[in-house]
Copies of this chain bind each other. A is one copy, B any other.
Amino acid sequence: MNGVNDEQMAPQTFLYGCVLESGKEGHFNPEDDELEHQLDLRMACVDPSTKDELHTVEVEGRDAEGQVVKATLVTLKPSTLPSVCLGGFTITPPAVFRLKAGSGPVHLSGQHLIMMETGQSFDESE
């Protein structure tokens, strides 16, 4: 079981980023390999091209009953709060990010973590 524990303690970390605009969603929906995927959202920010109004980001995911639910993640305004730390908000795929208010762009970034499924180690799969 040591191989499994090793991987769970040190998952592989990749860079994730998406840009939200009117009519342009962001997605976290990795392909269906046999691995466990997770997104740790770290930062949300505007850029100099973002209009100076309140921008609200919504995330759509699944609740514990498996139903699609929406939550309001963050609200930014260039002249008041151009960046917010999301503190490692863990997102389980599939998830969709979209602007509920404002026309963007709003940038989300974080870490795409890939872990082994329970009972499987890299030693076995590689």
Contacts and interface: CB of A to CB of B under 8 A. Distances in A.
Interface residues of A, number: 71
Contacts of A81: 80-83
Interface in A61-93: 61-64, 69-92
A48 to B, nearest CB: 5
A43 B74 contact: yes
A64 B13 CA distance: 8
Contact of A15 (B8, B14, B59): B59
Contacts of A63: 14-16, 112
A48 B43 contact: no
Complex A-B, nearest 5 residue pairs according to Cβ-Cβ distance, in ascending order:
A17-B71, A15-B61, A72-B107, A71-B109, A45-B75
Given A43-B74, A48-B102, A83-B84, 7 more contacts: A15-B71, A15-B92, A45-B56, A48-B101, A63-B112, A72-B107, A75-B78
